[in-house]
Amino acid sequence: MSARQPGANDRPVYLDYQATTPTDPRVLAAMLPYFTEKFGNPHSASHRFGHEAEAAVERARAQVAALIGAEPREIVFTSGATESNNLAIKGAARFLRAHSRDAAPRDRIVTLATEHKCVLEAAARLAEEGFALDCLPVERSGLVDLERLAAAIGPRTALVSVMAANNEIGVIQPLAAIGALCRERGALFHTDAAQAAGKIPLDVAAMGIDLLSISGHKIYGPKGIGALYVRRRPRVRLMPLIDGGGQERGFRSGTLPTPLCVGLGEACALAAAEMAAEAARLLALRRRLLDAVTRRLPETQLNGDAERRLPGNLNLAFPGIDAEALLARCPAVAASTGSACSSASIEPSYVLRALGLDAAMAAASVRIGLGRFTTEAEVDFAADALVAAIGDLKGR
Amino acid sequence: MPDRLAYLDHNATTPVHPEVAAAVAAALALGGNPSSVHAAGRAARRAVERARAEVAALIGAEPDDIVFVSGGSEANQLALRGCGRERFIVSAIEHDSVLGAVPEAEILPVTADGVVDRDALARLLAADRRPALVSVMLANNETGVIQPVAELAALAHAHGALLHCDAVQAAGKLPIDWRRLGADLLSLSAHKIGGPQGVGALAVAPHLELRPAQRGGGQEGGRRAGTENVPGIVGFGRAAAIAASAPAENARLAALRDEAERLLRAIAPEARIFGAAAPRLANTLSITMPGVRAETQVMALDLAGVMVSAGAACSSGKVRPSHVLRAMGASAEEAASAIRISFGWSSTPEDVAQLAAAWGALYARAGKGRGEAPAPLPDPPPLAGGVGAPQASAA
């Protein structure tokens, strides 16, 4: 429980945990020695500073692997989830098209309209290269229609990319069912788990996942680091995006940033240890916030499935309210109108539009992300501030 | 365990400057996604833009010229594959990340001193009219030899070619004015200049339309998607500012290097120093101990607490002789006996003395110099690999 007054001292209440998370002080403490006294290049094979850094990187790799039920050598460190998604999608598709031994070419990609921009853009690049792209709609709940998905995956499908949890509405897709469909039809299954990893249990074996993207800064680790899980049995092959020194088994060249790897590993270990208790705590906070708002503003609508969503996510539509104006009127609450990448642009969220919201409702929606350092007092403060600001806007 | 450690492998990575580490730690604690519009996001955005100006200032560029990436390898890949050209001419001594990005490239030879052959570039450019990209590094990572990039850029431009310059090793060690240099694209890495690993930059001339390799959220002006590595970028900016404000550092490093060179030459007059006759970075020394393999030297030095690297980096688990030294006409045997010694901000005269003592002791044990019977030298053990991973090159 924070002793200070929420929203005081010009420090807004931070409710934008899907945009980024503060680095956990325990993560920071684990990282700091690797900037200074243990600074070696993990690829320097010839001296102890290199060995020390390499050992730290490998420990971190094992921590990341353990979070998702993988083996350490199935983890490739990258600069973040955007790179992981690009590497998984372009790398796997390009390799398969060049090397598939199937009778028909594997030249189709299946994905969802609500994927993160970097998945959609990577798929669009493949479309420019001659791949056929099936970008499937989602249900009103934000969930994929499994029958429609099954129909879309055929013998020419190289890759299916469906995110584990959505970054705007927090909706969790049925990964195990999708994995089974892909396995049955011989397509690779990639999931962007930037938002889901560390928040909900993930198991690459049980869910039939071949490629899985992780981001450091969404799970209380540092920015500038991510990971891609690449299945080894049966082996998934990729064409690398960055060539060079051959680091990361040739999947991803470039000196590994030891402190960032250590930070991601520590963040994964903490998330794994605290996931169940933290999920319960966040669910209670989320219920408290939602109740406080809907009690006073019964017309409020929840965007996306109410049950199958990340414990820390809410996405609320306030009919008749311009969300931009609302946030501007509420500077003591740091929330957002959509994903951070596009929040500088004013166009309404394509994710919300894909759920069937009209432009007005999409523009009336606010994403609220709760996380590890969110307190009851902050939630109460934020609910009061939002309700008061909406009252002001309506009264004008 | 020796009493003191002498880290002389700054070209592989530099220890993070304490002031940089403090700035990185502060930025890690700050939080905020620079694309978010709320106060936390705006603070992160300001930090990124301040760092962008600091990095730009290091090379005399405008802040808008700078695209932050995850490191030197990505910068090189983005430059080569994003420039829109289909014909590539690269020097024989480029880093693996350049050579690997464009395996189809035509190769520019270098002289025995390790300097790119200007006439060869003129011939290649004249032989084929297709618009090319020429990629030449500003200073080599193994020998430190400085390339005549301004002259090569002028030649390239006269033939309608673009020039990319990998300045990863040169930045912070040489004054760079990127407009005078005439490069259209220039790669930088933070961890070679006292900044953190995991961040680098590509400078892109305003007239170039870069084709992004990584698309998504539209960060970095659409040129490189992905949430910015704010603490890394802040640390990079700080390191760039420190490097730009320490012109006397070069003279100090030159004195250390020259003293090391003098001492090692006195021990082994027959040693070859690569690039000795060419302009070189003040901090780099590439030297052979004839007849003694680099891995043996590196291990003996490591036991004595002195950290250097083999001139021959390896990327497949087995050692292969350095392509850089081979391109300078070194025999396979000669290249396999070269080590790289590289100084940096943490280096001291005591490091030099420790290096000379350890190298001299090995030289004596190897039976060199005074005609003694050579003492048996153990075969180098196999290099430590990652988890099932082949060893990758470190610089």
Q: How confident is the model at residue B215 (pLDDT cuts 50, 70, 90)?
A: confident
Predicted confidence (pLDDT) at residue B386 exceeds the cutoff of 70: no
Q: Is B314 a catalytic residue?
A: yes
C-alpha pair distances (Å), B58 with each of A367, B239, B339:
40, 10, 30
CA of residue B238 relative to chain centroid, distance: 19
- pLDDT (0 to 100) of residue A263: 98
Whether B172 is in a domain gets the answer yes
Angle CA(B190)–CA(B301)–CA(B6) in degrees, nearest 5?
45
Q: Is 0.95 topped by the overall pTM?
A: no
Which is catalytic among the residues B193, B314, B327, B330?
A: B314
pLDDT, tens digit, for every residue of A58-114? Answer: 999 999 999 999 999 999 999 999 999 999 999 999 999 888 777 788 999 999 999
pLDDT, tens digit, for every residue of A311-323? Answer: 999 999 999 999 9
Q: How confident is the model at residue A364 (pLDDT cuts 50, 70, 90)?
A: very high
Average pLDDT over residues B259-287: 96
pLDDT, tens digit, for every residue of B76-133? Answer: 999 999 999 999 999 999 999 999 999 999 999 999 999 999 999 999 999 998 999 9
CATH at residue B154:
3.40.640.10
- pLDDT (0 to 100) of residue B385: 36
Range of the domain at B278: 6-15+247-365
The DSSP-derived string for B30-95 is H---TT--SHHHHHHHHHHHHHHHHHHHHTT--GGGEEEESSHHHHHHHHHHHS--SEEEEETT--
Whether B386 is in a domain gets the answer no
pLDDT, tens digit, for every residue of A113-170? Answer: 999 999 999 999 999 999 999 999 999 999 999 999 999 999 999 999 999 999 999 9
ipTM of the modeled complex: 0.74
- pLDDT (0 to 100) of residue B383: 39
- pLDDT (0 to 100) of residue A344: 55
CB pairs under 8 A between A and B: 304
Nearest Cα of chain A lies from the Cα of B184 at a distance, in angstroms, of: 21
The B residues from 5 to 44 touching A (CB cutoff 8 Å) are 5, 7, 9, 12-16, 18, 20-21, 24-25, 28-29, 31-33, 35-41
Last residue of a domain, one of B216, B244, B272: B244
Q: Report which of residues B282 and B3 the model is more confident about.
A: B282
Query: Among the residues of chain B, which ranges form H helices?
Result: 18-30, 39-58, 72-82, 96-101, 118-127, 149-158, 178-181, 230-244, 248-267, 294-303, 323-327, 332-335, 349-365
Query: Cα–Cα distance between B231 and A225 in angstroms, integer?
Result: 11
Q: Indicate whether B199 and B270 sit together in one domain.
A: no
Q: Which residue from A279, A331, A259, A345 is spatially nearest to A11, judged by alpha carbons?
A: A331
By the 10 Å C-beta count (0-12 exposed, 13-18 middle, 19+ buried), A11 is classed as middle
Tokens of B87: 């014909």
The half-sphere exposure of B160 on its side-chain side, counting CA atoms within 13 A, is 8
Query: Cα–Cα distance between B357 and B361 in angstroms, integer?
Result: 6
Predicted confidence (pLDDT) at residue A303 exceeds the cutoff of 50: yes
Predicted confidence (pLDDT) at residue B314 exceeds the cutoff of 70: no
Nearest Cα of chain B lies from the Cα of A86 at a distance, in angstroms, of: 6
pLDDT, tens digit, for every residue of A369-384? Answer: 999 999 999 999 999 9
Q: Indicate whether B58 and B194 sit together in one domain.
A: yes
Does B317 contact chain A (CB < 8 Å)? no
Name chain A contacts of B76, Cβ cutoff 8 Å. 244
Q: Indicate whether B237 and B280 sit together in one domain.
A: no
Domain count, chain B: 2
The mean predicted confidence, pLDDT, of chain A is: 93
- pLDDT (0 to 100) of residue B171: 96
Query: Cα–Cα distance between A150 and A146 in angstroms, integer?
Result: 6
Predicted confidence (pLDDT) at residue B159 exceeds the cutoff of 70: yes
The DSSP-derived string for B100-113 is HH-TT-EEE-B-TT
Topology (CATH level 3) of domain A13-23+275-395:
Aspartate Aminotransferase, domain 1 (3.90.1150)
Query: Cα–Cα distance between A302 and A168 in angstroms, integer?
Result: 12
The mean predicted confidence, pLDDT, of chain B is: 89
- pLDDT (0 to 100) of residue B362: 96
Q: Report helix, strand or coil for A24.
A: coil
Q: Name the helix (H) or strand (E) containing A67.
A: helix A48-68
- pLDDT (0 to 100) of residue B140: 96
DSSP letter for A103, please: S
Residue of A nearest to B43 (CA): A11
Tracing tokens 């999931």 back to the chain, one arrives at: A191
Q: Which CATH architecture has domain A25-269?
A: 3-Layer(aba) Sandwich (3.40)
Q: Indicate whether B361 and B305 sit together in one domain.
A: yes
Query: In chain A, where are the structural domains located?
Result: 13-23+275-395, 25-269
Predicted confidence (pLDDT) at residue B150 exceeds the cutoff of 90: yes
Whether B395 is in a domain gets the answer no
Does A55 contact chain B (CB < 8 Å)? no
Q: Are strands A333-334 and A365-369 parallel, antiparallel or unpaired?
A: unpaired
- pLDDT (0 to 100) of residue B32: 87
Q: Are strands A211-215 and A188-192 parallel, antiparallel or unpaired?
A: parallel
Predicted confidence (pLDDT) at residue B389 exceeds the cutoff of 70: no
